Amino acid sequence: MEEIPALKNEPKDNLPDFVEKEAETIVIAEKVDYDFMLPADFSEHAYRLEYTLRSAASGKVENLTYILMMILLGSIEFKVITKYGLDYALEPKRLFTLLFVFAVFTALFAFLKYVGKANNHCNFLITDGGIKFSDAWRFELHKRYFRPWNDIHSVQMEENIYHNKWVGPMFQKRSSVEQLKWSKDGRLDTNLMLQFDYKSGGNASIVLSRLNREQCRCLFLGLENFVDQSKLSRETIKLKHAIIAETTNESFTDIWMEDLEQRYAITNFVPLSSGHRLRDGAFQVLSILSTRGQTAVYLGRDT
């Protein structure tokens, strides 16, 4: 655990409820431990998960493009010198114009690169009260970044059609949620996104292929402990079970039995009481004639 300065760029009123308003720091777990206790740790700490949508290759391509442009400008200037001579190339007005163009091009390139990094850098805090999203979701969440768990309408798995830029969306196969695959850099190898839809409006999609094991487990443990499981789609539940089981002693058989019990668990049969009305009052139960197992025979009347 490490104490990190609170989000200074944001009003403190936007922080989760468990953070004292007058406190200057909040405890954030930069590395999620597989064995941390739940939900106690979530009530004491905010777990920050962050990722970027930009790959390392994209940054190299941008730098290479800038270098090639500089080489092109240099080659043009070299041709001017060889054709018109050095005195013409070093004229003050022309030299000033050349330096101005170079400065504008460099500033524009740096600005576009900064904006690209800022818009593609995503981070969010997992707390016992909800999820605090960063500014990267400002349009999807209508600039209301902290969303409590009870505001969730549904959590579904959506396909990320931009997962593999070299393969068209029509030719990409939907990743399996039952068999986990991890890439060489430790991130989840999938083309699925976790989409949160909120009752109060807005939605947020989390790109799972940018999360590592620790981050995935922290995210799905939050869903396990604080979200009504009926709000999760079947694919989400399967992936949640697979990720949690991978780092615990729980086997897939235990998970299957638990899921089976939730679907087909025996419930106590409670017969209808005398006077109970059915079909908006069209029928009324007068008395119970007999009961056996999960059935009952009633004496009723048409009102």
Q: What is the pLDDT of residue 214?
A: 81
Count of other CB atoms within 10 angstroms of residue 160: 17
Asked if residue 247 and residue 195 are part of one domain, the reply reads yes
Q: What is the pLDDT of residue 54?
A: 57
The reply to whether 249 falls in a domain is: yes
Asked if residue 242 and residue 138 are part of one domain, the reply reads yes
Which letter does DSSP use for residue 93 in this model?
Answer: H
Asked if residue 257 and residue 124 are part of one domain, the reply reads yes
C-alpha to C-alpha distance for 44 and 20, rounded to whole angstroms: 11
Q: Is residue 75 a contact partner of residue 160, using CB atoms and an 8 Å limit? A: no
**pTM over the 0.85 mark:** no
Domain that holds residue 291: 268-303
Asked if residue 288 and residue 165 are part of one domain, the reply reads no
Asked if residue 287 and residue 169 are part of one domain, the reply reads no
The H-or-E segment that residue 191 falls in is: none
- The CA-atom distances, in angstroms, between 297 and each of 29, 157, 281, 284, 287 are 59, 44, 19, 13, 9
The reply to whether 124 falls in a domain is: yes
Q: What is the pLDDT of residue 42?
A: 61
Asked if residue 294 and residue 215 are part of one domain, the reply reads no
The reply to whether 152 falls in a domain is: yes
C-alpha to C-alpha distance for 238 and 175, rounded to whole angstroms: 12
Asked if residue 301 and residue 160 are part of one domain, the reply reads no
Instruction: Give the number of C-alpha atoms closer than 13 A to the C-alpha of residue 45, restricted to the C-beta side.
Output: 22
The reply to whether 107 falls in a domain is: no
The reply to whether 168 falls in a domain is: yes
Into how many domains does the chain fold?
A: 2
Sequence-distant (≥ 6) Cβ neighbours of residue 27 within 8 angstroms? 1, 2, 3, 4, 44, 45, 46
Chain segment 116-157, per-residue pLDDT in tens: 665 567 888 888 788 888 888 888 898 888 899 999 999 999
The reply to whether 78 falls in a domain is: no
C-alpha to C-alpha distance for 141 and 134, rounded to whole angstroms: 10
Q: Could you tell me the two tokens for 71?
A: 């080489």
* Per-residue pLDDT in tens (0 to 9) along the chain, 303 residues: 333 333 333 334 444 444 433 333 334 444 444 344 344 556 556 677 777 665 555 667 777 888 888 888 888 888 888 888 878 777 888 888 888 888 888 888 887 776 666 556 788 888 878 888 888 888 889 888 889 999 999 999 988 765 554 444 444 555 666 677 888 888 888 888 899 999 999 999 998 888 888 888 888 888 888 888 889 998 898 888 888 777 555 555 655 666 565 555 555 677 787 778 888 888 888 767 677 767 888 878 787
Asked if residue 256 and residue 145 are part of one domain, the reply reads yes
- DSSP helix/strand/coil, 9: coil
Asked if residue 229 and residue 155 are part of one domain, the reply reads yes
The reply to whether 133 falls in a domain is: yes
Q: Write the single-letter amino acid at 111.
A: F
- DSSP helix/strand/coil, 22: coil
Asked if residue 225 and residue 154 are part of one domain, the reply reads yes
C-alpha to C-alpha distance for 28 and 18, rounded to whole angstroms: 13
Residue reference for tokens 């060489």: 184
Q: What is the pLDDT of residue 169?
A: 47
Asked if residue 287 and residue 152 are part of one domain, the reply reads no
The reply to whether 17 falls in a domain is: yes
C-alpha to C-alpha distance for 33 and 45, rounded to whole angstroms: 13
Asked if residue 160 and residue 286 are part of one domain, the reply reads no
